[in-house]
A and B are shown apart, each in its own frame.
Chain A
Amino acid sequence: MIRTVALEKRYGDTAAVDGVDLDVPAGSIYGLVGPNGAGKTTLLGMLAGLRRPTAGVIELGVERQRVAVLPDTPHFDPWLTAWEVLDLARTLVDRSIPRQRNDELLHDTGLEEAADRVVGGFSRGMLQRLGVASTLVGNPELLLLDEPCAALDPLGRREVLDLIARLRRAATVVFSSHILADVQEVCDTVGILRSGRLLFQGPLEELLVGRAVPRYLVRLRSDPAPVAAALRTRPWVTEVEERGDLLRVGVDSLQHAEEQLPGALAEAGATVVSLSPEAASLEDVFLEVMA
C-alpha cells in the first residue's frame, strides 16, 4: 500500500527523516514507534502530501482522496457542533456518503450525547475521539494517524483502539504512538524510527520473538529440578531459571530451541504441560533496539 525509497526530509543541515525505506502492506495496521524527535510526524506528513520530501520516492497504492489524516492534537472551528464537524468532513470527502454515517461514528466513538454540543467546550480526549471519527467518516482506504490515543483516558483509548482494530483488512492504517502497549495490541507490522532512520521494520511477531533474547517457557507436571539440570548441560542452552513448575529456558537461537528442545525435554523424562517461546514486550524490544 505504501512504499518509500530512500525518503529524506532535511531542514537545513538536520535530517528529520533520513533514507527511510518504508513498506506498509495493504490491509495492515502499521505501528510507527520512536522517541520524541524521531521523525514520525514528519514522515506521516510526507505520506499525507503535506510536506515535500527533500529526496526519495513515495509510492501510494491509493488515490490521495482516499487517504485520511489525523494530526496529533486535532482542532476544529470551536463554534461547530460535533455532528457538524463530521458532516463537514463527510461533505468535503464524498457527499454521497449518507448522513447516518455521522451518527454511527459518534456512537462508535462515545460522543453520541455530545453530538449537538459545540466543540469549543470539548476536552482534549473528546477532540481526539472526534478527530478519529472525522478521519473515518469518508471510509478511507489509508489512514495516517499521529498519536491517536495520546490524550485519551482508558475508556476512550479502548474505544479508539477497538475502532482501529476493526479496520484491519478493510483499510490500511499507519499510526505513530509513544504507547507501546497500544502498538503491540493492534499492530501487525512495526517500524522503529530513531533520529530519522528506520532501525527495524517488519511483522510484530518477528520483532518480539526474533530480536529479544530468545527464551522458551516450559510448564511441567513433573519435578522441574532434574529437568533444569539436564537442560543446563546442553551447549545451546544459555540459562535455565526455575519458577515453581515453570522453567524459563534461555537459548542461543530460536532455531536451536525449535529443533532440539522437545527432544532434550523427552530425554530428561519431563512431563510437559506446555511449551512456548517467551514473547518479549514491545517495550523490552524497543529499549533493546534503541540501545
Chain B
Amino acid sequence: MTAWRLEWLRLTRTRRWIAIAGVFLFFGLLGPLTARYMGTILEHYGGDLQVTVPPPVPADGITQYVANAIQIGLLVSVIVAAGALAIEGKPQIGIFFRTRATSIGEIVIPRFVVSAGAAAAGFLLGAIAALYETWVLLGSVPFGSWLAGTGYGMLYMVFAVAVVAAAAGRTRSRLATVMAAIVVLLGLPILGIIPKVGDWLPSALIGAIDGIPRGDSAVHYLGAGGVTVAAIALCLWAGMRWAESREL
C-alpha cells in the first residue's frame, strides 16, 4: 500500500469521486439547457414583466456551464481536497504519517496530485458534457477554442487544490483549511479589479473557457497561465514547509 494507492482508494472507496464528477457533470448538462431555454423560462415565469433575451449562441452553453460549475464545483473540489490534504485534522493520523515518511513530500505530493487530478478531471468531464449538449441544442463550438479554454480551466482547478495544500499546512482542522482556501480563491478576483493586474491572476483563467470561443486569443491567457503554474509551485512548497515545521 503506497501513499499513491492510499490516495486513489481515498477517492474511490469513499466515493468522493462521485461528488466531484457528479457536480461538474450536472452543471455540464444543465448549462447549455439553461442557455437554450432561458428566454422561454423568463417568458413563462416573468409574469407581466417583458424581458427580451437575445437568441442564444453556442458559446452561451459553455458560459452557463462555467458560471455554475466554477462556484459549486470549485467548492466541492476544495472540500474533497481538504479531506486529503488536511493530514493533521486528526493529529493521531498526522503522527502516523509524520513519524513514518522520510519527507513531508512523500505524504503531501500524492495527496495533491490525486486531488488536483480529480478536480481537473471533473472540470473536463463537465466541459465535455457541456460541449456535447451545446452541439445538440445550440450548435457547435470551435473545438480548438473549447480545448484551449478547458485546459486553462483545468489549470485553475489544479491551482485551487494547491491553495488547499497551502491552507492545510497553515491550519489544523479540515474546516479551517476549507475556509482559508475559499477566502483566498474568492479574494483573488477582487484583486483583479486593479487595472492590468486582473489579466495576470490565476482567476483570469476561469474566463478562458468562455472568452476564447467568443474571440479571445488563447495567447491572451498565457501570462495568467504562467503565473498560475508558478503559484501552484509556491503554494505546494509553502504548504509542505509549514506542515513540516508544525508541532503535533
Q: Which residues of A line the B interface, CB within 8 A?
A: 45, 48-52, 65, 67-69, 71, 73-77, 79-80, 84, 87-89, 91-93, 134, 138
Contact = CB atoms under 8 A, between A and B. Distances in A.
Nearest to B102: A65
Contacts of A48: 95, 99
10 contacts: A45-B248, A68-B99, A68-B100, A71-B95, A75-B93, A76-B96, A88-B1, A88-B3, A91-B2, A138-B100
Interface string B10-36: 100110000000000000000000000
A50 B9 contact: no
A51 B93 CA distance: 16
Interface string B85-104: 00000111101111111100
B92 A71 contact: yes
A18 to B, nearest CB: 18
Contacts of B3: 88, 91-92
Interface in B37-90: 90
Contacts of A69: 95, 99
A210 to B, nearest CB: 36
Given A50-B247, A79-B9, A84-B1, A92 B95 contact: no
Nearest to A48: B99
A255 B101 CA distance: 52
Given A79-B9, A138-B100, 20 more contacts: A48-B99, A50-B95, A50-B98, A50-B99, A50-B247, A51-B247, A74-B92, A75-B90, A75-B92, A75-B93, A76-B93, A77-B10, A77-B93, A80-B1, A80-B9, A84-B9, A88-B3, A89-B96, A92-B3, A93-B100
Give the one of A51, A71, A79 with max B CB within 10 A: A71
Contacts of A79: 9-10, 13-14
Nearest to B98: A50
B101 A71 contact: no
B247 A89 contact: no
A138 B96 CA distance: 13
Contact of B6 (A49, A50, A88): A88
Nearest to A52: B247
Contacts of A134: 96
B199 interface: no
A87 B247 contact: no
B59 to A, nearest CB: 42
Nearest to A135: B99
Contacts of A73: 92
B232 to A, nearest CB: 25
B81 to A, nearest CB: 15
Given A65-B102, A67-B99, A79-B13, A91 B1 contact: yes
